[in-house]
Amino acid sequence: MLTIDRLTVENLEHGCVTDNPKPRFSYTLSGTADAAVRDVTLTVGEWSCHPDTQIAYPYDGPALKPFATYPVELSVTDEQGVTVSATTSFETGRFGEAWAGSWITDGDYRFTDKKISPKPMSFRRTVAPADGKTVVRARLIATAMGVYEFALDGRKVGDRYFAPGFTSYKTNLQYQTYDVTEQLADGGEHTLIATVAGGWAVGSFVFTRVNRVTADRQALLAELRIDYADGTSEVIGTDADWDVTMDGPVEMADLYDGETYDATKAFGADGNAGGTRWRKAAIERPKTEPKRIEADYGAPVREHETFEPVSCKRRADGELIYDFGQNFAGVVRLEIAGASAGQVVTVRHAEILNPDGTLNTTFLRTAKATATYTCTAGDQTYAPRFTYMGFRYIAVRGIEAKQLKVTGVALYSELTRTGDFACSDERLNQLQSNIVWGAKSNLFDIPTDCPQRDERMGWTGDIAVFAPTACYDFDMSRFLDKWLRDVKAEQLPTGGIPNTVPVQGYGFPATMPEMAIAWWGDAVVLVPWAEYRARGDRSVLERMYEPMKKYVNACRFWAGLFGFGKHRYIWWMPTPFQFGDWVAPDVPKMQQWQARGKWTGTASLNNTARTLAQVARVLGHDDDAREYDELADRVADAYVSVFTDGNGKLNDEFQTAYVLPLHLGMFPDAATRDKAVNNLAALVESNGYKIGTGFPGTPYILFALADNGRPDVAFRMLANEQCPSWLYEVKMGATTIWERWDGLDEHGECPIGDDGTDLMISYNHYASGAVGAFLYQRVAGIEPIEAGYRKFHVKPLLGGGITWANGHVDTPYGRVGSAWSITGKRFDITVDVPFGTVCELTLPDGRTQELTHGSHTVTCEL
């Protein structure tokens, strides 16, 4: 007996609107032990086919029409002739059809201030379906220069934040489609109001607070498409008939500084408010014209978990300090009782408190992270819509606690949770929670570095090392597909990748035309590979293959530019910037981290070349595969020859310099590798089993030890509670991953001094959470052999006093599970194998067996 568990279009089960002329279909099956598939039929409209894969099967029927709805049916027949079916549908977008409307703006607004965001604009239009006609379908289609939100008759349209999303606007811009059929079905007049704030396109962004990068002022582009029962249609686009005002209730909106809202100016359902001066909108031509405006293809930011305060303390000056018990990215919702008109409530946000109990806002740098709300009379509710903060604590002024209920609302991209891990060590369970919350806080339309200070940029180095862990915890397919389009769009002519994507106003070194930066630019190779390994969709490799090649060739060029002999493969780029062993805790200064760039850069070239060879082999480019494998071999030989004594000992010893060649297999033989791993183990032991690695080494140090014969050292490092270590953060009460291992000392104070980073410390910075991959792959033992888990390992690694562990991953074929326990000298494991997959189980006693779909319990003696 078979069951269809999931059917998706473009990785969405429901609500897909796409401009892809060949949308992709995926499905997941489950079945009894004796079940087998005889036939699969996929029907899209009038077209049918028999897909040969469950993952991303592309439509290949008659050309799809724009603005249409297509039913989808999947039928699966088993060997006994029993057929099961599942249905869904999708809508097509514009397919390049010209907009009925034009870009509109406030033609009188001249925004010239520097380092701040513009005042939000509001647009209004009254619409009425044709008299005597029945509305059968109505869609509001919209985009903006800035971030927008629509209301229809006073009610918010849709549930997303920060539309149209953050993209490389000169190339890619998304539009959204909203179903408003129900609201318009009763006929009569209706009022549309759109509020457009500066966002990333016009507002203040990056730590230098650059504004007006994409446009000089906000602009809106939208159309309302109404289909009637008699087969006629009507399209109402943005034009000079729309009204505009700068007098709306949102008086200030800035990604860093927060939001100011005056409820006494709130629009009524008809769009009117006291004192509002409406005038006619002007047609606008933004200074940046995107090459493509496409139907939303990312993972929209929405509301998720909510948090009630775990404590509220009133200070002597009347300020209320709330603790939500969890560091997260989002906003607060204020429910105010019995307010007086004009009463002003101010909310400030921070990640940590000072020793005196006040908010520590020092590390926000220039970000004010403040919400200011002016009340109307009576009871009311407010939450910011055009900003967000990273925080655990808030300070509230202007109201008594008895008048106020506060709720924390987590905001992050719509990501399906696909994995989880737990074990007998509660400290590691908290670490897992910290990793997940660090990811949720920074998977915010783009992969940001942190959600609180004046940054929140798409740093490539963070996601390059974290992507494998992210792909265990979440279905990253739509999120990464969107971001990788911008990586491709912003690749430099010489092949380098900016170290933040989208660049959006960031200067040196992102704007240097020759720049290729090890481990940061590597994201163009490592992120698509991680996504492919997790989801099995080779189209991500096909789309990114040429950018990968261009980047690796650029790295090879810079390595060899001034080198001779084997030094041609030592990447110490002659341009002035590499991050090196970024935030390595064993050296205190930024310049010392960067000085390790020739070790980290050379290992990077080996890693990207070897990974590119694997990609080439998947795509059938065998000549390329041989070329890049040979390059990786030459780089490995150069690393060992130049940096070591040839016998497993580095000339200059530090943890990362051993970790990278060990993990990447760069040592020439087992004997040399064994000596190298023992030298690394000695370094770790002499350092009290504490972390000494920066960004490039931290994701791999436990693998480098455990996979090369020293799991004892790996588990002691994982379990260490001394600073710097993962569990030191847990011991200090962290609920997310820190940017710096020494973010707080034992007294709860931040010891960071003048190290050249301008007080760079975030307490919600997910890069070092890349250790999560070790928890899944070694402790739970789950790792794909074939992309998408068509074939996978379950091979738990025992150690660290852990007596049981559970892990699961929801793969494209279904749930993979590993649950093991130790009782005395008895080891028991239950493995869940999805339908259509094969598991290679390796027990601690060395025995292996092959398992097919079903749940299997196996025992051995230790």
Looking at the predicted structure, is the pLDDT value of residue 216 above 80? Answer: yes
Distance between CA atoms of residues 3 and 36, nearest Å:
11
Are 291 and 308 within one domain?
Answer: no
- Give the pLDDT mean for 491-501: 93
Q: Are 738 and 765 in contact (CB under 8 A)?
A: yes
> Could you list the active site residues?
455, 739
207 within a domain of the structure (yes/no)? yes
Instruction: Fill in the DSSP letter of residue 777.
Output: I
Higher-pLDDT residue of 716, 34: 716
- Give the pLDDT mean for 494-509: 89
- Give the pLDDT mean for 660-688: 98
732 within a domain of the structure (yes/no)? no
Are 131 and 244 within one domain?
Answer: yes
Q: At which of 596, 627, 643 does a domain end?
A: 643
Are 252 and 124 within one domain?
Answer: yes
Check which CATH number belongs to the domain holding 23 and give it: 2.60.40.10
Distance between CA atoms of residues 850 and 862, nearest Å:
20
| For the chain, the helix, strand and coil percentages under 3-state DSSP, each to the nearest 5 | 25, 30, 45
Check which CATH number belongs to the domain holding 501 and give it: 1.50.10.10
Cβ neighbors of 125 (< 8 A, separation 6 or more) are 191, 192, 236, 238, 241, 242, 243
Instruction: Fill in the DSSP letter of residue 500.
Output: B
Confidence of residue 512 (pLDDT cuts 50, 70, 90): low
Q: Are 319 and 361 in contact (CB under 8 A)?
A: no
pLDDT of residue 576: 57
Share of the chain above pLDDT 70, in %: 99
Residues making up the chain, counted from first to last: 862
Distance between CA atoms of residues 361 and 336, nearest Å:
25
Are 632 and 613 within one domain?
Answer: yes
Domain range enclosing 552: 475-643
Tell me, yes or no, if the pTM score tops 0.85. yes
Are 194 and 254 within one domain?
Answer: yes
- Grouping H, G, I as helix, E, B as strand and the rest as coil, residue 639 is helix
358 within a domain of the structure (yes/no)? yes
Confidence of residue 424 (pLDDT cuts 50, 70, 90): very high
Are 80 and 199 within one domain?
Answer: no
pLDDT of residue 497: 94
pLDDT of residue 270: 81
The H or E element that residue 807 is part of is: strand 804-811
749 within a domain of the structure (yes/no)? no
Check which CATH number belongs to the domain holding 388 and give it: 2.60.120.260
Question: φ, ψ for residue 484 (rounded to 5)?
Answer: -70, -30
Question: φ, ψ for residue 273 (rounded to 5)?
Answer: -155, 155
Looking at the predicted structure, is the pLDDT value of residue 513 above 60? Answer: no
pLDDT of residue 790: 97
322 within a domain of the structure (yes/no)? yes
Are 201 and 140 within one domain?
Answer: yes
The half-sphere exposure of 817 on its side-chain side, counting CA atoms within 13 A, is 16
Burial class (CB in 10 A: 0-12, 13-18, 19+), 622: exposed
pLDDT of residue 563: 86
User: Mean pLDDT score of the chain, rounded to an integer?
Assistant: 96
Burial class (CB in 10 A: 0-12, 13-18, 19+), 138: buried
Burial class (CB in 10 A: 0-12, 13-18, 19+), 99: middle
pLDDT of residue 747: 87
Looking at the predicted structure, is the pLDDT value of residue 661 above 60? Answer: yes
705 within a domain of the structure (yes/no)? no
Least confident of 183-187, 402-406, 784-788: 183-187
Looking at the predicted structure, is the pLDDT value of residue 413 above 90? Answer: yes
Q: Where are the beta strands (DSSP E) in 63-189?
A: 69-78, 83-92, 104-105, 121-127, 135-145, 147-152, 155-156, 172-179
Of the candidates 170, 183, 186, 180, the one whose C-alpha atom is nearest the C-alpha of residue 223 is: 180
Instruction: Work out whether strand 250-254 and strand 135-145 pair parallel, antiparallel, or are unpaired.
Output: unpaired
Confidence of residue 514 (pLDDT cuts 50, 70, 90): low
Q: Where are the beta strands (DSSP E) in 158-300?
A: 172-179, 190-197, 219-228, 233-237, 243-245, 250-254, 258-262, 279-280, 282-283, 292-295
Q: For 728-764, what is each residue's pLDDT tens digit?
A: 999 999 999 999 998 999 988 888 877 888 789 999 9
Are 603 and 639 within one domain?
Answer: yes
State the virtual CA torsion across 363, 365, 369, 372 in degrees, nearest 10.
130
Q: Are 124 and 162 in contact (CB under 8 A)?
A: no
pLDDT of residue 509: 66
Q: For 702-729, what is each residue's pLDDT tens digit?
A: 999 999 999 999 999 999 999 999 999 9
Q: Are 45 and 71 in contact (CB under 8 A)?
A: yes
Confidence of residue 33 (pLDDT cuts 50, 70, 90): confident
Check which CATH number belongs to the domain holding 818 and give it: 2.60.420.10
Looking at the predicted structure, is the pLDDT value of residue 112 above 80? Answer: yes
Q: For 237-288, what is each residue's pLDDT tens digit?
A: 999 999 999 999 999 999 999 999 999 999 988 878 767 899 999 999 999 9
Residue position matching structure tokens 């810079």: 558
- Give the pLDDT mean for 768-773: 98
Are 341 and 290 within one domain?
Answer: no
Q: Are 374 and 263 in contact (CB under 8 A)?
A: yes
Structure tokens that stand for 395 in this block: 């300070």
The H or E element that residue 325 is part of is: strand 320-339
Of the candidates 270, 264, 396, the one whose C-alpha atom is nearest the C-alpha of residue 333 is: 396
Are 7 and 80 within one domain?
Answer: yes
715 within a domain of the structure (yes/no)? no
Distance between CA atoms of residues 702 and 428, nearest Å:
14
Looking at the predicted structure, is the pLDDT value of residue 515 above 80? Answer: no
- How many domains, the chain? 5
The DSSP line for 10-68 is TTBSS-EEE--SS-EEEEEEEE-TT--EEEEEEEETTEEE--S-SS-EEP-SSPPPTT-
Confidence of residue 793 (pLDDT cuts 50, 70, 90): very high
Q: At which of 594, 617, 643 does a domain end?
A: 643
pLDDT of residue 511: 60
Cβ neighbors of 361 (< 8 A, separation 6 or more) are 348, 350, 369
Q: Where are the beta strands (DSSP E) in 414-545?
A: 419-423, 443-444, 446-447
Share of the chain above pLDDT 90, in %: 93
pLDDT of residue 573: 64
456 within a domain of the structure (yes/no)? no
The residues facing 703 across adjacent strands are none
Distance between CA atoms of residues 315 and 491, nearest Å:
51
State the virtual CA torsion across 88, 91, 92, 94 in degrees, nearest 10.
-170
Cα first-last separation, the chain: 38
Q: For 457-483, what is each residue's pLDDT tens digit?
A: 999 999 999 999 999 999 999 999 999
Are 285 and 332 within one domain?
Answer: no
Are 555 and 528 within one domain?
Answer: yes
Q: At which of 298, 325, 351 does a domain end?
A: 298
